[in-house]
Structure 1
Amino acid sequence: MLTAETAWRLFIERGYDNVTVADICAAAEIAPRTFHRYFPTKNDVILEPVRFMTTLVSEHVDSSPADLPDAAVLRSAMHALGVFVVEHRQWLGALRTVIQESHHLRATHQGVPPEREQELSAKLAARHGESGGPGWRRRLLVAYAVAAFRIWHDDYLRDKISGDPLARLDEMVATIEQE
C-alpha cells in the first residue's frame, strides 16, 4: 500500500516523532480521510508489522494438525515467523530503528502484547477441546516460545548470528520443554 510505504519512508528519513499524518498525506497525495480509512492513527502504521506477524503465528496454529503436540506447533509457527523476518529483514530493521529513535515509540511499543499471548494460549487449548481458558503450563509454553523468538529476532537484526539464522532460531525454540 502506497500510504504505508510513504509513511515508512518519511519515518526513516525524518524520524517518527517528526512526521505528522498531514505530512504522510501530502507525500502520498491522499486526503486525511483516506489515510484514516486504513490507519486510525499514525501509530497504527508502526503496529502493522507486529499485527501481521502475530496473525501469521495465529493462522499457523489454526492450520496445524490437531494431533501435533503444542510444543511442536509452536516450534513450527516460530520457524514460519522466522522465515518472514529473514525475507523482510530490511523493513523490520527499519522498524526497529524507527522505534529506537522515537521517544514516544520506545515508551509505548512493547512488542507482542500480553493479550495476544493469551489468545495464542487459548487457541492451543481449544485444539485439545479444553474450555475455561488455558492453564498456566500452556501459557508458560507460549511465553517461552515468544521470548525465544524475541531474543533471536534481536540478535538477528543486530547481526549477532553467524551461519544460518533459521537454524539458530530452530535451535533456540527447540529448547521448549517437550509435552
Structure 2
Amino acid sequence: MGITSLRDRKREQNRIATVRAAWTLFIERGYDHVTVGDICVAAEIAPRTFHRYFASKEDVVAEPVREMTTIVTEFVTGAPAGLSDRQVLHEAMVRVARYVVERRDLLIALRTVAQQSSHLKASQVAVRTDVEPDVAALLDARHPDGEPGQWRRRLLVGCTTAAFRVWYEDFLRGDLPDPIGHLEEILAAIGS
C-alpha cells in the first residue's frame, strides 16, 4: 500500500513538473517553437515518461481546462443532497473561479501563447462546452427518481457555463475589484 501511494505521488510530481516545464518553455519561446524533446529535457524526463501523461504537447496547454473540469465534476458528484441543481452549479463555478484567480498570470500567458500559435486553436481556456452533457448527467444522477436527461438541467448547465465564460473573459481582461462578487452577479443574472 505504501509503495503504491509513494509511486502514485512520484508520478503526480513528475506530471506537475512536466506541465510547469512545458508552460515555462511555451511562455518563453512560443508554443510553435517548443518540441516534446525540449519539454523532456527541461523536466528531466524521458519522452516515454512524457507520453505516459500526455498524448501531445497540446494536451499540456489544455491542462488548466482539465483541472477546471475536474473541480466542477468532483463538486457536482460530491455535493450535499440538500442543494438544488442551481446551488450546486453556482458553488462549482465559484470554486473554479477561485482556481482561476489564483492562476491569473499563468492563464493570461497561456492564452497569449495559444493566440500566437499557428498550430493551436486560440480557444478560451475555461469550462468547455463539450463537457456540459457530462455535467448535466452528473446532475441527473443526483435525482435518481427524477427524469433523466431533463432539458431544464441541460439548459441550466449551458447557461451557467456560458455565464462563467463571460466572467472569465472579464477577469482576464482587467483587474476586477471583487472577482468572485462579479461572478456572483453574473450567475444571479441567469435566474432573472
Q: Who is 1:148 aligned against?
A: 163
- Percent of aligned positions that are identical: 53
Q: Who is 2:134 aligned against?
A: 119
CA RMSD of aligned residues (A): 2.0
Task: Give the TM-score, by structure 1 length.
Answer: 0.90
Query: Are residue 92 (structure 1) and residue 144 (structure 2) matched?
Result: no
Paired with 2:125 and 2:191, the residues of 1 have a C-alpha distance of: 26
- Higher-RCO chain (CA-CA 8 Å, sequence separation at least 6): 1
Structure 1: where are the runs of 5+ without partners? Answer: none
Q: Which of 140, 165, 179 is matched with 2:179 structurally?
A: 165
Paired with 2:184 and 2:121, the residues of 1 have a C-alpha distance of: 29
Question: Does the C-alpha gap of structure 1 residues 136 and 105 become closer, same or farther in structure 2, counting only changes over 3 Å?
Answer: same
Asked if structure 2 preserves the Cα contact closer than 8 Å seen for 1:17 and 1:102, the reply is: yes
Question: Does the C-alpha gap of structure 1 residues 40 and 130 become closer, same or farther in structure 2, counting only changes over 3 Å?
Answer: farther
Q: Who is 1:176 aligned against?
A: 190
Q: Who is 1:5 aligned against?
A: 20
The number of residues matched between the two structures is 177
Aligned pairs for 1:15-164 (under 5 A) are 15-106=30-121, 111-129=126-144, 133-159=148-174, 162-164=176-178
Q: Which runs of 4+ in 1 moved over 6 A?
A: none
Paired with 1:28 and 1:106, the residues of 2 have a C-alpha distance of: 25
TM-aligned CA deviation for residue 93 of structure 1: 1.5
Secondary structure class of the residue paired with 1:23: helix
Asked if structure 2 preserves the Cα contact closer than 8 Å seen for 1:75 and 1:174, the reply is: no
Question: Does the C-alpha gap of structure 1 residues 108 and 157 become closer, same or farther in structure 2, counting only changes over 3 Å?
Answer: closer
Secondary structure class of the residue paired with 1:105: coil
Structure 2: where are the runs of 5+ without partners? Answer: 1-15
Asked if structure 2 preserves the Cα contact closer than 8 Å seen for 1:66 and 1:128, the reply is: no
Paired with 1:167 and 1:110, the residues of 2 have a C-alpha distance of: 21
Paired with 1:152 and 1:36, the residues of 2 have a C-alpha distance of: 34
Tell me the amino acid that sits aligned with residue 176 of structure 1. Answer: I
Paired with 1:81 and 1:112, the residues of 2 have a C-alpha distance of: 9
Asked if structure 2 preserves the Cα contact closer than 8 Å seen for 1:71 and 1:177, the reply is: no
